[in-house]
Amino acid sequence: MAELLQKLVFGISYLSNSVKAEAGNMAPNPLIIPIFLPNLGCQERCLFCNQRAMAPGVPSPADVRTFVEASLGPFASGQTRRRQVAFYGGSFTAIPRRDQIAYLRALDLFLSSDRIDSIRVSTRPDALDEEELSLLKAYGVKTVEIGTQSMVDEVLDLSRRGHTAEETLSAVTRLKRWGFEVGIHLMIGLPGDSIDRFLQTLDQVIQLKPDFLRIHPTLVLKGAPLEVLWREGKYSPMTLEEAIQWIKRGLLKLEKASIPIARMGLQSTKELEASYLAGPYHPALHQLVKSEVFFDRAVNLFRTHPIELEPIFLCHPREVSNVRGQKNTNLDRLIALFGLKSISIQGREDVPKGALVLQCQVGEVSC
């Protein structure tokens, strides 16, 4: 019982953080109830992975049922958002078929009583054959997230992924044919990776038209095989600034293609922070990237339009903190760069999210 309570406490904390993150980034998405199955179904141990250091064990199907019941309690009234149970960690469709069915059947009553609307699983691209997709469909799975990481085979080989870019192409094609919502996980800064290779990966992924992406910088974690290479000086993690610049360029590509990023960086947990050794980890990576995008847009507006000593920017109310930057870093940089006296930021509902408007002598101009 103590072990189950530990899992429930971890899961409810994770759920609370996930809900907050979704509310800020992708509000129309369903309420996610996360079930973490570290390393289950993994055929190999990827170079970067140490999931067991980030979660307190593997829950049983009975644990899952208890956890979902407890998680639905705080959200039982006044909720109109769809609810989805998500199996994260490991490769769900690569675990033995009987175990998949046991986990999925644990959710039957929640689905049949409309207490949840669907199920989400994360897995590998080479574990999604037609028989598997038929099983997922039969048990109420709607969303499948694929751990692609890169579309460059050399990067995949060096990271010990055990699959190819072609298998990702094939998996996404099948998933779309079956009518699943598709998410793709990418990582930056893996051994052999580069900004050009990352952008090449994005171009190929955009052609697949996934419903959303997650982008995670590579971190060195205690106990992961990558730790050995790092300590031997054979792997140098990217800096936080490099990660911000890479993801910023990726974000602009994805915005142009109308593909949302569900998350940038790993979910911040005590387990992750305890196992973290090196690499571009920041609990507010998403904000840092968005702030850098707004900084670039502000610079462009200042360089292309006449400005006053105390200019005013307009943005959507939810973007004010992103425009300012953490601890007002954007404002300080802009003031120093252009010799300004001050900058005002005003939130206005009629300004679209992501847009920045400058009030100047010729009126309001946007970027």
277 contacts: CB under 8 Å, gap ≥ 6: 219, 220, 221, 222, 227, 230
d(CA 296, CA 313): 13
Model confidence at 16: pLDDT above 60:
no
Between residues 19 and 196, the one the model is more confident about: 196
Phi, psi of 60 (to 5 degrees): -85, 170
How do residues 296-314 score in pLDDT, each as one tens digit? 999 999 998 888 889 999 9
pLDDT of residue 29: 64
Token pair in block for residue 183: 């998410």
Residues of the chain above pLDDT 90, percent: 71
Average pLDDT over residues 334-363: 90
Over residues 273-284, the mean pLDDT reads 92
Q: From the CB of residue 17, how many other CB atoms can be counted at a distance below 10 Å? A: 15
* Residue 58: per-residue pLDDT: 82
Per-residue tokens: 164 = 């190819």
pLDDT in tens, 185-236: 999 999 999 999 999 999 999 999 999 999 999 999 998 889 999 999 999 9
Q: Report the pLDDT value the prediction gives residue 56, as an integer from 0 to 100.
A: 57
pLDDT tens-digit profile of 119-176? 999 999 999 999 999 999 999 999 999 999 999 999 999 998 889 999 999 999 999 9
pLDDT band at 184 (very low <50, low <70, confident <90, very high): very high
pLDDT band at 272 (very low <50, low <70, confident <90, very high): confident
Task: Name which residue leads in pLDDT, 54 or 343.
Answer: 343
pLDDT for 247-268, tens place per residue? 999 999 999 999 999 999 988 8
Q: How confident is the model at residue 270 (pLDDT cuts 50, 70, 90)?
A: confident
Residue 8: the pLDDT is 44
Residues 71-99: tens digit of each pLDDT: 887 665 555 678 999 999 889 999 999 99
pLDDT band at 43 (very low <50, low <70, confident <90, very high): low
pLDDT band at 329 (very low <50, low <70, confident <90, very high): very high
What's residue 201's pLDDT?
A: 97
Separation CA 17–CA 22 (nearest Å): 9
pLDDT at residue 15, rounded to an integer? 44
Percent of the chain with pLDDT over 70: 85
In 255-331, the DSSP E strands lie at 261-264, 276-278, 312-315
pLDDT at 11: 45
The CATH number that domain 2-283 falls under is 3.20.20.70
Per-residue confidence (pLDDT) for residue 51, from 0 to 100? 54
Burial of residue 142 (CB within 10 Å: 0-12, 13-18, 19+) is middle
Coil, strand, or helix at residue 125?
coil
Average pLDDT, the chain: 87
Q: What is the per-residue pLDDT across 143-159, written as a single tens digit (0 to 9) for each?
A: 999 999 999 999 999 99
Position 151, amino acid: M
